[in-house]
Structure 1
Amino acid sequence: MTNPMPAPEVEHSDPLDDTREKDESMPREASSIELKGLRKQFGKDTVALDGVDLTIDAGEFFTLLGPSGCGKTTLLRILAGLEEPDAGKLLIGGKDVTDIPPHRRSVNTVFQSYALFPHLSVRDNLAFGLRMRGESSAERERKVAQVADFIQLGSLVERRVDQLSGGQRQRIALARALVCEPNVLLLDEPLSALDAGLRGQLQVELQRIQKRLGMTFVFVTHDQDEAMVMSDRIAVLDSGIIQQVGTPSEVYEHPVNAFVARFMGHDNLFAIQRSADNWVDTELGRLQLDPAQQRSEQQGWLLIRPETLELGGEVPAGYNRLEGTVKERLYRGSRIEYRLEVNGVTLMAVASNVGQRLHAVGDRVTVSFCPEDLVRVAA
């Protein structure tokens, strides 16, 4: 039967459409992304993005991380062309695409809701975008077979979507986005609806696929652990403003302010009451700092990561030493989490569950830590 909707003409001369031949292993020529002063406001009072400047390197697995309402999904929709910024510019691959419609950007999106056609087979779902682009039947078959092999779909291609599990549907949604061979793939919390075990499995699979393709991935999540596991770099957003951009270790170990520190799961934040030279006064007492942590400003916070604390044993020379009482002991499988009371405030500590002495609730323990492990954080 003839398709009543005429297939759109493929504009091979358009520099935004990538029509070059691809290797059978599906490597991609990735595109960089540059945001210049992007601003987006909804209504009179809701500023979703407030002058965002950001550069994402070609071939990078980049994650937008933040709480609900921080602006990360709005930013992703602007990248996809589904929202228009009120001000600023968007460049993909060095070309200004701010006013270019979605279908002329070499960008595809994997949504949280999968957005598959439940009444169609997996094969027809994968081929849908190619058919809308007017590609021949032979070319559609070649590309569908290629992506099905790459994603390791096996016999799933012959099944209907409504017969698949959530994890299988998510893999189909990813394959459908890849089959059109975009230079940039956007992923809007695609794993949030999955159970923990399957989610961990697909995190590894997504990372593996991205590295094999060399494609630019922009991933949106509110899950800190997910962001740290998968990303080359992370941008932490709050109230439409990028608070920090860095590698997972930079963002976790050296947050630039109290918001980033708390969002990355740090509980050991203590207000700095006074500081001079290489020491600070906090609720815990006077603590020695590494000289590199000296700051001219007096205010701010001191971060003590729980995994850097040593409980019991001899205290090495030059280390900070505190005395505390174990108030709670939480079993976390490979590690033990302790809630300690030190000078009337709570201090969190994490210790390995292998080869370590376990401290009971009520025990008095010595807490020691190296000055180099203390991090000063802006308010």
Structure 2
Amino acid sequence: MIPYGRQEITEADIEAVATVLRSDFLTQGPTVPAFEHEVSLIANARHAVAVNSATSALHIACEALGLGPGDWLWTTPITFAASANCGLYCGAKVDFVDIDPRTYNMSPVALEARLVEASKRGVLPKAVVPVHLCGQPCDMAAIHALSRKYGFRIIEDASHAIGGRYQGDPIGNGRYSDITVFSFHPVKIVTTGEGGVAVTNDDALAQRMRLTRSHGITREPAEMSKAPDGPWYYEQIALGFNYRMTDIHAALGVSQMHRLDAYVARRHELARRYDALLSDLPVVTPWQMPGTYSGLHLYVVRLGETGNDGASRRRVFEQLRAAGIGVNLHYIPVHLHPYYRAMGFAPGDFPEAERYYREAISLPMYATLTEADQDRVIAALADAMRS
């Protein structure tokens, strides 16, 4: 089976983790700050706050922005559920904005139309979470301009996009958002095993996220209600969580980050080769928005003429799986999950997202994918489409 994505673990990675295992600190030691430093350099951001997953990073980002009951968070339907769930964790309400048919990201045109209507009804969002699907950056300048007009905060869900660039700047630099979140799950571009990082240029937001990731407890005298009773003293000053990343995971991340640029470059080589090999097949290949450089976490093709039930896509998908090609689907629209249907969302609410869902297939994409394996993927796809 050729998987749709997978990690590469080198001897250097193993030795980095083993060094931590031999050390005095398995958690709350020096390696997590070292990893945060690496991420902040890559993103060109002042602060990086490492946690145990990107879901946790989204949660503490929402909490830091003060999202709570009575507030609204808007995101895209084509994403993993965590991009929406993070608002619910804070007691906020969640809504969605339809996608652009070329980038598959949140449509700035659809966002503006929804904001105009929401402004009339007095229900503007407090936070908007654009998702850089597949590593393709959203049109952040347009979304940011709308935030200035309508007063919402922005969390970039860049779980797919570390190593990418927008308008020449690294994703995560904070020019067009308050906080950016990265994922380091094993199928992502680089991995910590499990883990996430929130980056920001705002000192207060960074301080709040660091507090929230570790029970809301501080040992900093300047943050305490009184002078410390002694060197053992600490205070819980907020309701937080145990979202800390271990030094074991961070050690793997530090080692992997040294190969980030090479991994992304290799993904671009594979994408160009896919584009050429697929040129004779009736599929829509990914479109790259000018002025962007994708992290290329995923390579998604769309099959035409699938019908309203997506039956053709399902047949091709199943035939590829039977041929040992581990294709996948990213994603089932969040508003169609039963949990969100119970909130009142229904089919037809976001037509472009639902059309995408009926047609999309994620082909294998990872840095160690060989050209021979890629040829096998294309041959199997061609056979499936002919039959």
TM-score, normalised relative to structure 1: 0.22
- Between Structure 1 and Structure 2, which shows a larger proportion of strand residues? 1
The structure, 1 or 2, with the larger RCO (C-alpha pairs under 8 Å, 6+ apart) is 2
Kindly name which structure, 1 or 2, has the bigger radius of gyration based on alpha carbons: 1
TM-score, normalised relative to structure 2: 0.22
